[in-house]
């Protein structure tokens, strides 16, 4: 079963054949090499990064859903403002698959923390997914989108409007999330003198909002509220 928000993004792919290929990969995001299968942590639980952004339980899903919303808004701009042509199926498929092998590069330690799996010593998530997309005979245009999603830092730069949109949406969402997480951690450390380890996006956005609305007192109150909520959730 796919997460409902991932499922609704998937349903936006109108080409049935492409939708099925994307769904098959999302439902079984595994990679085989030399007779060994790698499946990593589950998509639902996985973070989308270990430190820079979405570095918490469920971060992968949040990142894909948020990057998907940004990418679709950019498709609207291309069509409605710039009168350009964009293939939304390719954009949605690109967003859904661009990081789908990140969970293969993570493992969960005994303490419950995420760290790099051995596979990540050999290949990064982008090389892994490009290899798998080629093996599964995905359209070349989609393989390009995924190969180019890291922009200037990737194997190839975006050369189509769809690839550029996916790269920019990925980058924008990573920064939106990562910068707010960093700012919230900094505010709590400086104002409360504590470390709120593994902050969720909801907590981080709350802290940053409270600082803007009520200053340092707002941060202290938000910190207290978050600690109480965490205690209440513990079994």
Q: How far apart are CB 170 and Fe ion at their closest, in Å?
A: 4
* 162 is a site residue for Fe ion (CB under 5 A): no
Inter-residue contact 6 to 65 (CB < 8 Å): yes
**Quick one: 40 or 218, whose CB is closer to Fe ion?**
40
Q: How far apart are CB 150 and Fe ion at their closest, in Å?
A: 6
Q: How far is CA 53 from CA 24, 177, 189, 231, in A?
A: 27, 6, 18, 25
**Quick one: 62 or 99, whose CB is closer to Fe ion?**
99
**Quick one: 162 or 170, whose CB is closer to Fe ion?**
170
Considering only the stretches 29-37, 136-144, 164-172, 199-207, report the one whose residues sit in contact with Fe ion under the rule CB under 5 A: 164-172
**Which residues within the stretch 15-74 sit at the binding site for Fe ion (CB under 5 A)?**
none
Considering only the stretches 1-9, 91-99, 108-116, 183-191, report the one whose residues sit in contact with Fe ion under the rule CB under 5 A: 91-99
Angle at 136 between CA 130 and CA 142, to 5 degrees: 50
Considering only the stretches 6-14, 25-33, 111-119, 162-170, report the one whose residues sit in contact with Fe ion under the rule CB under 5 A: 162-170
* 170 is a site residue for Fe ion (CB under 5 A): yes
Q: How far apart are CB 143 and Fe ion at their closest, in Å?
A: 15
Q: How far apart are CB 55 and Fe ion at their closest, in Å?
A: 12
The count of chain residues that interact with Fe ion, using the rule CB under 5 A, is 2
**Quick one: 3 or 99, whose CB is closer to Fe ion?**
99
**Quick one: 151 or 192, whose CB is closer to Fe ion?**
151
Q: What is the DSSP string of the chain?
A: ---HHHHHHHTT---HHHHHHHHHHHHS--EEETTEEE--S-TTT--S-SSSS--STTHHHHHHHHHHHHHHHHHHIIIIIS-----HHHHHHHHHHTTTTGGGGEEE-TTS-EEE-THHHH--HHHHHHHHHHHTT--HHHHHHHHTTTGGGSSS---SHHHHHHHHHHHHHHHHHHHHHHHHHHHIIIII-----S--HHHHHHHHHHHHHHHHHHHHHHHHHHHHHHHHH--
Q: How far apart are CB 98 and Fe ion at their closest, in Å?
A: 5
* 99 is a site residue for Fe ion (CB under 5 A): yes
**Quick one: 98 or 211, whose CB is closer to Fe ion?**
98
Q: Which residues bind Fe ion (CB under 5 A)?
A: 99, 170
């Amino acid at each position: 079963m796919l997460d409902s928000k991932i499922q609704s993004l998937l349903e936006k792919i109108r080409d049935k054949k492409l939708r099925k290929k994307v769904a098959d990969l999302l439902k079984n995001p595994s990679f085989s090499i030399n007779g060994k299968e790698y499946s990593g942590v589950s998509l639902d639980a996985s973070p989308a990064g270990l430190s820079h952004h979405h570095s918490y339980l469920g971060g992968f899903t949040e990142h894909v859903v948020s990057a998907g919303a940004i990418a679709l808004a950019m498709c609207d701009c291309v069509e409605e403002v710039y009168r350009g042509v964009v293939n939304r199926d390719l954009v949605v498929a690109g967003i859904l698959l661009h990081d789908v092998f990140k969970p293969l590069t993570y493992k969960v330690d005994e303490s419950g923390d995420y760290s790099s799996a051995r596979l990540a010593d050999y290949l990064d998530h982008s090389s892994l997914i490009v290899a798998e997309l080629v093996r599964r005979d995905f359209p070349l245009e989609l393989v390009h989108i995924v190969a180019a999603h890291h922009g200037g830092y990737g194997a190839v730069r975006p050369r189509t409007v769809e690839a550029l949109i996916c790269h920019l949406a990925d980058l924008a969402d990573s920064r939106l999330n990562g910068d707010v997480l960093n700012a919230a951690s900094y505010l709590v450390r400086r104002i409360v003198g504590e470390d709120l380890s593994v902050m969720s996006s909801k907590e981080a956005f709350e802290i940053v909002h409270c600082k803007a609305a009520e200053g340092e007192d707002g941060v202290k109150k938000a910190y207290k509220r978050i600690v109480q909520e965490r205690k209440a959730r513990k079994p």
